[in-house]
Amino acid sequence: MAGGETDGTAARTTATTAGGTGTATDPRDDATRAWSALRRRLSDEATAALGEDEADAFLTRVDLALVDVHGPLAELYGDRADDLFARVLRTALAAAADRPRALRRLDRRRELDPGWFQRTRLQGYVCYVDRFCGTLDRLAGQLDHLAELGTTYLHLMPLLRPREGENDGGYAVADYRAVDPRLGTMADLEAVAGALHERDMALCIDLVLNHTAREHPWARGWLAGDPAYAGFYTAFPDRTLPDAYDATIPEVFPDRAPGSFSWVPEARGGAGGWVWTTFWPYQWDLDYTNPEVTLAMLGEITWLANRGVDVFRMDAVPFMWKRMGTTCQNQPEGHTLLQLLHAVTRLAAPGVVFKAEAIVAPDDLVQYLGAHERFRPECELAYHNQLMVLLWSSLATGEVRLARQALGRMRPIPPSTSWVTYVRGHDDIGWAITDADAAAVGLDAFAHRRFLNDFYSGRFPGSFARGALFQENEVTGDARVSGSAASLCGIEDALERDDAAALEAGTRRLLLLYSVAYAFGGIPLLYMGDELALRNDTGYVADPARAPDNRWMHRPPMDWAAAARRTDPGSLEGRVFAAVRELGRVRRSLLALRGGTEPELLDAGSDAVLAWRRRHPRSGAFVGVANFSPRPQEVDADTVTGFGSFVQVHGSDGRLGVRGGRLTVPGLGFAWFAEP
């Protein structure tokens, strides 16, 4: 943490910045020099550890990644880079030597197909283990349900051992190498990974990088004064520097955990200190200006990769580096650090990819995919939070001008990366709508965000939504929204009122949103229960540990009785399940929906219809249309169907007719067209 202190003395500083302004020599020359001095010794060590063939592959990876490994070390840690270079390479070599044979075979396949995660066969599902099936040892028995949906990418929500008691939904990790005992054991997780790989499914888990629980061994060692953990965390003796930092840092949980620092009496050898805690007081931010922290985290990542994890959802990455006078988010060194972790992990486990959990402004978001002025590999995947937010905004307003504006001006992402597109996640919805985008379509951003909060919390007259405000700040008017996708779409309200027409509209809204998520490009992610239109769960209020956090309302336990109705076309569950399954089936047949290319936003002549075009170099074009108005809308048929040459391959209401050069899209309906 630039500016951080652990004992009241002057802060540590780095020798260079991520802009590369600290050295006069070429980073490539420095990397080559360091590698030349080390290569012979490491070659012998690699051959002894891996055998001749595997050693050759490992050393070739190092050759290719020299600048991606040594460069960040030099930028972050200056003159210590050469020593650290040798240490991180040996960390990677040890992990490569420990990597199971089955995972090495998977690595080889993915090195031959480096865009494996961009293929249209990749389709995601996210769930909490306990909410889905109880324990890890029961999960294999439910994989048929996922296979029916076409799932090939399973994201299991936080399952590493958390602190006891309040733990931020599992994100306060007390041990990276153990599973929450309520869910099972690490051996159970390895068995799950094996079962998934047998079905050609990938496993994704959460890895919290910014902080640990205060009960983590690193934190306990730091408090105890163990030299091995000196500088792992940051503590200040008084409020002088914390107040200066807090002046520019937005609060994450302003109502229950204001500020970014917590008083810990045991810190600083018992003298007490203000520990950096961006989130909750029991989550202590790691200090990555200390390279020992970076090395320790590399050890945890590679160890978990060897348990069979294919994708790491890198949690809270915008917060990993701090700088006075800023929001302490999205700092250049944070990107450099992530690039380093990525490069070294890929040396040991080249089949593993990173997914950035970065819910930030669009211009900041694309950087986590390496979209800097000069591309540097960082994360292969990132959540398309902007798309998710704008889908809900469009649904509330019935028009898409804001979505067209904001999505249309997003910077393109590198072709070697991909989005993860989604309708709903485990978290609250924060309205990441910029002042500039709102003003461009004649809206006041603050007023629009306030409207969306009112609409989805049911406060706005005529709203169909049954959500709730999360972390409402009555002083600033800021808030976020909780609620399941089905409840926010009006399905819960319709069922309670026994209103068949409203239920039809709510169901169409839900499928409309997923039609965009499945066809906008990237890996579509289905949140557990959405395939059955599961509604809000109020049972969480009976659990004292969960009652204060209304996000648990949209984390319902899986309703397997409802799932049993998925084959009944006359039931709500049957209709939604069949429709979602069909979205996946058609998507898999369309090469234009493969990752690696960007969608083009179209104006098809209606401000209620979102229209976009995609094209892959080896396929024809694809055009999708989604009508966010409850009334039919006419669009320009030539814009959508390419002068009539495109074939409709899917839609909510059968084949759409063209009359007088206009194509009519039914209210809350969608259609997909593809060039033969």
CB atoms within 10 A of CB 300: 16
Are 125 and 151 spatial neighbours (Cβ–Cβ below 8 Å)?
yes
- The end-to-end CA distance of the chain, in Å, is 54
Q: What is the 3-state secondary structure (H, E, C) of 28-80?
A: HHHHHHHHHHHHHHHHHHHHHHHCHHHHHHHHHHHHHHHHHHHHHHHHHHHHH
Phi-psi region at 87: left, alpha or beta (left = phi > 0; alpha = psi -120 to 50): alpha
Please name the amino acid found at residue 635.
V
Buried b (16+ CB within 10 A) or exposed e, 168-190: bbbbbbbbbeebbeebbebebbb
From 358, 484, 482, select the one nearest 428 (Cα to Cα): 482
* Cα–chain center distance at 439: 28
Residues 6 or more apart from 664 whose CB is under 8 A from it? 632, 633, 634, 656, 657
Residues 6 or more apart from 516 whose CB is under 8 A from it? 387, 391, 421, 610, 624, 626, 670
DSSP at 534: -
Instruction: Read off the tokens for 198.
Output: 């047998």
DSSP at 286: B
Are 384 and 419 spatial neighbours (Cβ–Cβ below 8 Å)?
yes
Are 310 and 353 spatial neighbours (Cβ–Cβ below 8 Å)?
yes
Please name the amino acid found at residue 663.
L
* Burial (CB count <10 Å: 0-12, 13-18, 19+), residue 389: buried
In the annotation, is 378 catalytic?
Answer: no
Instruction: Read off the tokens for 339.
Output: 């690039």
Largest CA distance in the chain: 80
In sign, the C-alpha dihedral spanning 574, 576, 579, 583 is negative
Are 52 and 43 spatial neighbours (Cβ–Cβ below 8 Å)?
no
Instruction: Please give the Cα distance from 193 to 23 (Å, whole number).
Output: 44
E strands in 222-315: 235-236, 261-264, 273-276, 283-285, 311-315
Instruction: Please give the Cα distance from 49 to 57 (Å, whole number).
Output: 13
From 64, 88, 78, select the one nearest 25 (Cα to Cα): 78
* β-strand pairing of 621-627 with 609-615: antiparallel
Instruction: Please give the Cα distance from 330 to 102 (Å, whole number).
Output: 37
Please name the amino acid found at residue 156.
L
In the annotation, is 634 catalytic?
Answer: no
From 522, 670, 657, 642, select the one nearest 582 (Cα to Cα): 670
Active-site pick, 215, 357, 531, 537: 357
For residue 664, the surrounding DSSP H or E stretch is strand 662-665
Strand partners, 314: 207, 356
Instruction: Read off the tokens for 295.
Output: 């090395």
Are 456 and 467 spatial neighbours (Cβ–Cβ below 8 Å)?
yes
Active-site pick, 82, 287, 315, 380: 315
Coil vs helix vs strand at 124: strand
Q: Which residues are catalytic?
A: 315, 357
